[in-house]
Chains A and B, each alone.
Chain A
Amino acid sequence: MKAGYRLFTSFCWVSALLPVAGVCGLIAFLLRQGWDVLGLKLFFGDTPPLDAIFGFAPVWDGIWPACFGTLAVIALAGLTAIPLGLFCGIHLSEFPRSRFTGLLDFCVNLLAGMPSILMGLFGFALILFLRHTLMPNASTGLLLSGFCMGLLILPYMVKATQSSLAGLPDDLRLMGAGLGFSKSQAIRHILLPSAGRGIMGGVVLSIGRAAEDTAVIMLTGVVANAGLPRGLFDNYEALPFFIYTMAAEYQSPEELQRGFGAALVLLALTTGLFLAAHGLHNAMEKRWKRG
C-alpha cells in the first residue's frame, strides 16, 4: 500500500510538470523562432508605417492588414455583443425568475457550449439565404464576420454581467429601494456603476475570445491576401487566419518567419487581454468582499 501512495505522489508530480513543460516549451519555441522578426518591419514590411496605418500605401509583406482586420472584427463583434449581452445579463440577474428567464438561461448556456465553427456555418447559411431572397449579390465580408463573432462572444458577456451583478451585496439593492428609486433607476445609478469593473472584465475577456477565434471568420469572409478592407462588405485579412495559412502553405523561409512573428503577436495580445480581465475581476471581488 505504501508503494501505491508513493506511486500516486510521483504521478501527481509528473502530471503537474507535464503541461507546464509543454506550454513553456511552446512559448520558448515561438520566441526563439519569432524573436528576430519582431519589429516595425514585421508589421509594415517596406512601407512607411504612417502611410500604412492610414491606408495611403498598400502593405505587401507585413502583417498590418491582418492586425487591422482582427481589430475591425473585434470592434464589430463588440458592437453587437456588448449592448445585447449587458441587457440580457441585467434581465437574468435582476428581474424575477419566470419561465422565460429559465429558457433564456438555457439558451445562453447552449450558445456558450456551441462549437465556434457552427457560428461560422450560420453566417455562411445566412449569406446563402440572403442571396436567394433579398440581396442577390450579398457576399461574405467584414460585417458578417463581426456579427457572427458577436454571437460567439455574447454568452461570455451575459455571464460576466450576470455574475458581477449577482455578486453585489444586498445592501445596495435595499439602498435603491430606500431612496425611492424605481427598479430601472436603481440599476442604472447604483448597481451598474458598482459592478462596472466586473462587467469590464467580461468585456475584455470576450474581446480576447474574439481575437483568437479562427473558425468563425474562416467561413465568413477572411481571405489570405486582401490588404486593408475597403468597406464593411469587403473581404479582409486576420491574424489567426494568417497564422493558419502560413502553417499550411508558406512559400519561403521569410514567410514562415513572419508566421512565427504573427503567432507571437497574437499570443501577446490574447494573454495581455486575459491578464487584464483577470485583474479587473480580482479588483471587483476585493471591493465587495466585506458585503
Chain B
Amino acid sequence: MLAILLFLLWFSLPLCNADALSKLLAWDWRPFQGQFGILPMVAGSLLLSFSALLLAFPVSVGICCFAHGMGPAGPAALLMRFVKLMTSVPTVIYGFVGVFVLVPLMREVFRSGSGFSWLAAMIGLAILVLPTIVLMLHSQFMIVEPQVKLTATALGMTPAQRLLHLVVPNSGRGFATALVLGFGRALGDTMIPLMLAGNAPQVPGSVFDSIRAMTAHIALVVATDSQSLAYLSLFACGLILFLSSTLVNLGLQWLGRPDGRKE
C-alpha cells in the first residue's frame, strides 16, 4: 500500500522542476503558443467545489433536521434510505442526464451561451456530494440527539426548538467533518465537470460562463494532446489534487481524534 503511494509521488515529483514550475503556474492555457498555465484550472476546481458545497450544505442540513424530528417518522426513515441509495448512482449517469436536461434548461431559462456552464456543473456536483454530507451529519445527530432528547422534552421544547438550540450547536465537529468530506468528494469528481462545465480554460466571470476543473483537465489532455509540457501540466494537476486530498484526509483525522478521546 505504501509502495503505491510512494510510486504516485515519485512519478509526479521529478516532473516539477523549478523551471517548468514557473511556466505552469501561470494564468494562460494556450498549448499552441507554448503557454501551459494551470492556474485557471486550479481556480476552476476550487470555485466549483466551494459553490457546490454552498448549494448542497443547507439542503443537507434541512434533510437531516427533517429526519430527526421535523418530519413524520415513516417518511423520515424512507428519506434516509433514499439518500443511501443515492450514493450508488454512477456519476456518469448524473452527467448524462445533466447534459440532456440541465443544460437545455440553462439555455432556455437564462438565454446565454450553450448552457454548459459553471451553474450546471455546480448543480450536478451538489447532487453528487449531497448524500456524503447528509450521511455524515446524520451519524453525528444520532450521537448528539439521544443525549439531549430527554432534557429537551422535559423542558417542553418543540422538535424545532430542540434541533435549533441544542442539537445543531452541539454537533459543530460533525458539521466540519461533513464539509471537509464533501469538499474532498466535489474536488475529486471528474465526470460531472467534464460533461457539464464546458471546459474552457478560463477564470469565469459569472456563473453562466464555462469553467474547467483540474480533474477534467487531466482527462481532456490525456485524450487529445501529447506535447511534453502539456504532460507536465497533467502531473502538476495530479500532484495538486493528491496534495489536496492528503490535506483533506489530515483534516478529517484531526477532526476525528479529539472526538474519539472524549468518549
Contact = CB atoms under 8 A, between A and B. Distances in A.
Given A16-B62, A115-B190, A274-B87, A212 B71 contact: no
Contacts of A244: 92, 95-96, 191, 194-195
A218 B85 contact: no
Contacts of B20: none
Interface string A120-137: 111011100100000000
Nearest to B163: A8
Interface string A80-123: 00000000100000000000000110111111011111101110
A270 interface: yes
A106 B253 contact: yes
B111 interface: no
A22 B101 CA distance: 11
B241 interface: yes
Of the four ranges (under 10, 10 to 19, 20 to 34, 35 or more), the interface on chain A belongs to 35 or more
Contacts of B164: 5, 8
User: Chain B interface secondary structure, helix, strand, loop or mixed?
Assistant: helix
Contacts, number: 198
Interface in A8-67: 8-9, 11-16, 18-20, 22-23, 26, 29-30, 33
Nearest to A122: B8
A243 B5 contact: no
Contact of A5 (B83, B161, B252): B161
Most buried by B among A33, A88, A124: A124
A240 B79 contact: no
B86 A14 contact: no
Of the four ranges (under 10, 10 to 19, 20 to 34, 35 or more), the interface on chain B belongs to 35 or more
Contact of A263 (B63, B93, B252, B253): B93
B219 A117 contact: yes
Given A115-B215, A244-B195, A12 B223 contact: no
Contacts of B99: 247
A23 B92 contact: no
Interface of A: 5, 8-9, 11-16, 18-20, 22-23, 26, 29-30, 33, 88, 103-104, 106-111, 113-118, 120-122, 124-126, 129, 151, 154, 208, 211-215, 218-219, 240, 243-244, 246-248, 259, 263, 266-267, 270-271, 273-275, 278
29 contacts: A8-B160, A9-B160, A11-B62, A12-B66, A12-B70, A12-B71, A13-B71, A15-B61, A15-B63, A19-B59, A19-B63, A23-B86, A23-B89, A26-B89, A26-B94, A30-B93, A110-B245, A111-B5, A116-B188, A117-B215, A118-B188, A125-B12, A126-B7, A214-B190, A247-B96, A247-B100, A271-B85, A273-B88, A278-B84
